[in-house]
Amino acid sequence: MNEDTDDLWWLGLLREACLGVPDKTAEAASRAFARQPHTEAAAGARALGVYANDQGRRPLVGRNKGTRYVRNLCRDAVYCILTQIPYVPRQWAPALTRFKVFYYVEPTLIFIWTFYDTTQTRNGSHQNTPLSPTVGMVVGAEINGSRPTFKPVTVLEDLQAVRCAEFHPNGKLYAVGSNTKTLRICTYPKIDDVKENSAPTAPTVLLKRTKHHKGSIYCLAWSPAGDLLATGSNDKTVKLMRFNSHACNLEGQEVELTMHDGTVRDVCFIEDTSNKTSLLVSGGAGDCKIYVTDCATGKTFQALSGHSGHVLSLYTWGGAMFVSGSQDKSVRFWDLRTGGCVNIISPPNGHPNKGSAVASLAVDPSGRLLVCGHDDGSCALHDVRGSRALQRFTPHSGDVRSVRFSPGAYYLLTAGYDGRVVLTDLQGDLTCTLPSVPVARHPDKVISARWHPDDFSFLSTSADKTAVLWTIPPV
């Protein structure tokens, strides 16, 4: 690569490789790479180095051009390994360079994906091509006529709309709820085995409960420890169940909560560290109240009032805090330590017609950034600690029913009633235009989209009666 394109390539490679990577030592990662058998060794594979965010100091290992960017790209101390493999797909094609990216999770290496330097033309010169915000790949670069992109891995088909899906905290399972009143728990497949041109398959269903509710399953959530599963329905009930992740089954007697007088639109868990128990927060239509239930006793002990419209979305990011979004166009911050609302984001006074219903929301892991998805197709970013709006942008042409930060908070995944799932890059100035790109499509409304807790893959559910798992296959 020449001097003009080299920086761009390393920039794209490094920032994507560091998504959600655990903090491990660079030396251990380097040793693991040295022990790892590589089938490409005969083709001249070589490790380019191990790179880390080392708080402004030089990289611990590796001296390749572009490493100086790492301290700006990795917000957490993370490590990735890059290998370079010469690759010629056909005799008539120009010589290409293939880069494989790994990250280190003790005691093994996890393969992420492969990059190709396809900017080299037949005469040996290079073109300055822009990077796609999806995966750091070169836009317009093709291998055998196809662009690297998210591909459907599994497709779960139902008879009616699939409303919700959530990954288990360990990442090995996911739960799916639909309008057929059916709850399913499926296995998360081995992504390394996914091929670029392979057709999607049906997921392995480990548990299936028909007529789980008397109505549609609108929402579900796992507790942070993964030992509890809650579901909410338009039958006005919440069901709370204990889950054994080792045996992969529901245990004991389920608890049915009947305090709501309307559709339960969202549920989330909060860990009560003082009493070492889980609390379940639920909200929806009817009286517009948010209820807090002690999971140990099954008793509801708080009913939080404040919203004047249906509660459409709930989100917690740790601690005793959570946020709620409503049809009344407001977002409320709640603190269970005080038992009340501690902050409100709403349309300007005297302008009730401004703004739109908050259909979805999420807060980044640091608690500093709030994103709201609205029913007019827009998303709003707010600086929580600075109590200021950063910007409003419109990634969809219909209701934004789902917003989620990626595990490292570098990207935003949104799902809308326009049938699209969109990825937005949050790594720049959040007051400037943010690059967005569609990464998945459904033939009908997309109701939810959820990141895998570790991998660069996600689930989407739709009114087209499917739940689809998407990932970027290794090349």
DSSP string, 58-125: PPSS---TTGGGHHHH-SS--EEEEEEEEE-SSTTSPPEEEEEEEEEETTEEEEEEEEEE--B-TTS-
Q: What is the structure's pLDDT at 174?
A: 98
Do 113 and 200 reside in the same domain of the chain? no
Are the C-beta atoms of residues 474 and 111 closer than 8 Å to each other? yes
159: left (phi over 0), alpha (psi -120 to 50) or beta: alpha
Residue with tokens 């549609």: 216
Residue 27 CA to residue 293 CA, distance in Å, equals: 46
Residue 249 CA to residue 407 CA, distance in Å, equals: 27
Residue 189 CA to residue 410 CA, distance in Å, equals: 24
Do 105 and 170 reside in the same domain of the chain? no
Do 270 and 336 reside in the same domain of the chain? yes
CB neighbours of 328 closer than 8 A, spacing ≥ 6? 288, 307, 308, 309, 346, 357
Q: What is the structure's pLDDT at 454?
A: 85
Amino acid at 173: L
* DSSP three-state, residue 68: helix
Residue 445 lies in a domain: yes
Residue 12 lies in a domain: yes
Domain count, the chain: 2
Residue 126 lies in a domain: no
Tokens of 456: 């660069």
Residue 120 CA to residue 5 CA, distance in Å, equals: 10
pLDDT in tens, 328-375: 999 999 999 998 999 999 876 544 557 799 999 999 988 999 999 999
* DSSP three-state, residue 41: helix
Q: Which domain holds residue 12?
A: 3-117
User: Does the reported pTM lie above 0.95?
Assistant: no
Residue 460 CA to residue 116 CA, distance in Å, equals: 28
Partners of 323 in the β-ladder: 315, 333
Q: What's the CATH number where 376 sits?
A: 2.130.10.10
Do 37 and 162 reside in the same domain of the chain? no
Residue 295 CA to residue 292 CA, distance in Å, equals: 9
| Cα-only R_g, the chain | 23
* Domain end call among 117, 139, 171: 117
Residue 259 CA to residue 275 CA, distance in Å, equals: 23
DSSP 8-state code for residue 39: G
Do 311 and 185 reside in the same domain of the chain? yes
Do 13 and 63 reside in the same domain of the chain? yes
Q: What is the structure's pLDDT at 85?
A: 42
* Domain end call among 93, 117, 141: 117
Do 348 and 447 reside in the same domain of the chain? yes
Q: What is the structure's pLDDT at 54?
A: 34
CA angle centred on 31, ends 29 and 36, rounded to 5°: 95
Q: What is the structure's pLDDT at 348?
A: 63
Do 94 and 188 reside in the same domain of the chain? no
Amino acid at 356: S
Residue 276 lies in a domain: yes
Tokens of 225: 């420890």
Do 11 and 93 reside in the same domain of the chain? yes
Spans of the chain below 50 pLDDT: 1-33, 35-148, 350-351
Do 426 and 292 reside in the same domain of the chain? yes
Residue 141 lies in a domain: no
Residue 38 CA to residue 17 CA, distance in Å, equals: 19
